[in-house]
Amino acid sequence: MTPAMRIPLAAPDIHESDIAAVAGVLRTPRLSLGPKLEEFERGLAEYIGVPHAVAVSSGTGALHLCIRALGIGEGDEVIVPSFAFVAVANAVRYERALPVFVDIESGTLNLDPATIEAAITPKTRAILVVHTFGCPAELAEIIRIARKHSLFVIEDACEAIGAEYDGHKVGALGDVGVLGFYPNKQITTGEGGAVVTRNPVVAALVRSLRNQGRGDSEDWFEHSHLGYNYRLSEMHAALGIEQLKRIGGILTRREAIARGYHERLSGDPHLILPPLSLPRRRIGWFVYVVRLAAHLPQDRRDWIREGMISRGIGCGRYFAPIHLQPIYQSDVYRRHELSVTECSAARTLALPFFNRMSDAQMDEVCEVLGQLLRSPG
């Protein structure tokens, strides 16, 4: 049995104002497709800096609707990083297209632009770029390659709301962007996500597809497309509105926690720490992930993780490469050289990271981690 976590890996930051907002919706007769959803979408669009935001039931649902709305389908290929949450590949498969796995940069753990062109074929339709752990990918080069080959750019910013590239919020620079609001994210709606875009046609189609393919007609039983129930309720939207009001302070606090970890762990020869800053980018911290240095045996990572958990400290393995998952073992899925992905993924440890984390909790996490790193095992 897994022990209770005294210091969890992640925790939502819920205020009394959030609770009151959700309770307020429950006192109204409108629990779906109402004014709170519209208000939340307007707030998201304004914050990201795009004309259109369409809130949906999850980040995965948002990815799926992007793929569908861009007309990507059976036989098409989408370039994706393997070092990512499995949803980025699953969403491609939902439309019977094929994910093509490429490698990542060692420094940022983001999709490596140098790997993209070798993966492009006449079947390639899009590049799905993930802003890993809230660190913006090298968008300028990725977009340049995409435009050269007439490909769509889909930004998966589910881990990166508030992150910036060249002064623009991530999600706003590609053809479409995707946000996620699961409880471990910077802000949460409980479950939820959103599609953001400058393209009114894509936005209108996504809006229809999330609601059973209904069109602009007021007839509830008229359906223009093969759609889905990917709606976000008024309660979720009300929570999102309140959370979005605080996002500036949340991002500042999470950056302070990242800096706190860096101060405590820098200089430890057993660890590779994530960059605190990068040129042209602002990191929107999702998690704090360290890697074991090359001189430590690879299996040491799981031993340390188990040691942390046994002491009641949450610890994660972010991410298990998608191309090594059982459902992606088939030769149907093309993959290019993935040595950085495989080497990095085997050595990553996600440390506890949440808005209300105290200095004392950070001290304990780092002390226990240091003890385990120095232990003979």
pLDDT in tens, 46-60: 999 999 999 999 999
Of 207-221, 296-310, 329-343, least confident by mean pLDDT is: 207-221
From the candidates 36, 123, 148, 185, which is the catalytic residue?
185
User: Is 36 a known active-site residue?
Assistant: no
Mean pLDDT within 131-144:
98
Q: Provide the CATH number for the domain around residue 307.
A: 3.90.1150.10
Mean pLDDT within 163-192:
98
Give residue 377's pLDDT: 67
Residues 68 and 113 in one domain: yes
Are 160 and 136 within 8 A, CB to CB? yes
221 is a domain residue:
yes
Domain range for residue 40?
A: 16-245
pLDDT in tens, 5-14: 899 999 999 9
Per DSSP, the three-state class of 229 is strand
Mean pLDDT within 202-211:
97
Residues 229 and 291 in one domain: no
Report the C-alpha gap between 46 and 69 in whole angstroms.
22
7 is a domain residue:
no
Residues 226 and 263 in one domain: no
Residues 184 and 127 in one domain: yes
CB burial string 322-339: b at 16+ within 10 A, e below:
bbbeeebeeeebbbeebe
2 is a domain residue:
no
Give residue 362's pLDDT: 98
Are 208 and 224 within 8 A, CB to CB? yes
283 is a domain residue:
yes
Residues 210 and 266 in one domain: no
Q: Provide the CATH number for the domain around residue 158.
A: 3.40.640.10
Q: What long-range pairs does 373-376 form, CB within 8 A, spacing at least 24? A: 373/268, 373/270, 373/271, 373/296, 373/304, 374/270, 375/307
Are 322 and 16 within 8 A, CB to CB? no
Give residue 376's pLDDT: 81
Mean pLDDT within 197-224:
90
6 is a domain residue:
no
Selected residue with higher pLDDT from 233 and 376? 233
The domain boundary residue, chosen from 198, 213, 245:
245
Report the C-alpha gap between 341 and 314 in whole angstroms.
23
pLDDT in tens, 70-79: 999 999 999 9
At 222, is the pLDDT very low, low, confident or very high (cuts 50, 70, 90)? confident
Mean pLDDT within 290-304:
96
Give residue 119's pLDDT: 97
Give residue 2's pLDDT: 56
Residues 58 and 161 in one domain: yes
The model scores a pTM over 0.85: yes
pLDDT in tens, 75-92: 999 999 999 999 999 999
Residues 212 and 226 in one domain: yes
The domain boundary residue, chosen from 245, 270, 286:
245
8 is a domain residue:
no
Q: What is the largest CA-CA distance in the chain?
A: 69
Task: Specify the number of domains making up the chain.
Answer: 2
Residue 333: is its pLDDT beyond 90?
no
Give residue 210's pLDDT: 97
**Cβ neighbours, 10 Å, residue 129:** 31
189 is a domain residue:
yes
9 is a domain residue:
no
Strands (E) across 10-166 are located at: 52-56, 77-81, 98-102, 124-130, 152-156, 164-165
Residues 177 and 273 in one domain: no
Residue 225: is its pLDDT beyond 70?
yes
Residues 319 and 362 in one domain: yes
Residues 85 and 228 in one domain: yes
Query: What torsion, rounded to 10 degrees, do the Cα atoms 247, 249, 254, 259 define?
Result: 140
The domain boundary residue, chosen from 245, 279, 308:
245
Residues 93 and 222 in one domain: yes
At 264, is the pLDDT very low, low, confident or very high (cuts 50, 70, 90)? very high
Residues 32 and 149 in one domain: yes
Mean pLDDT within 112-139:
98
**Cβ neighbours, 10 Å, residue 30:** 11
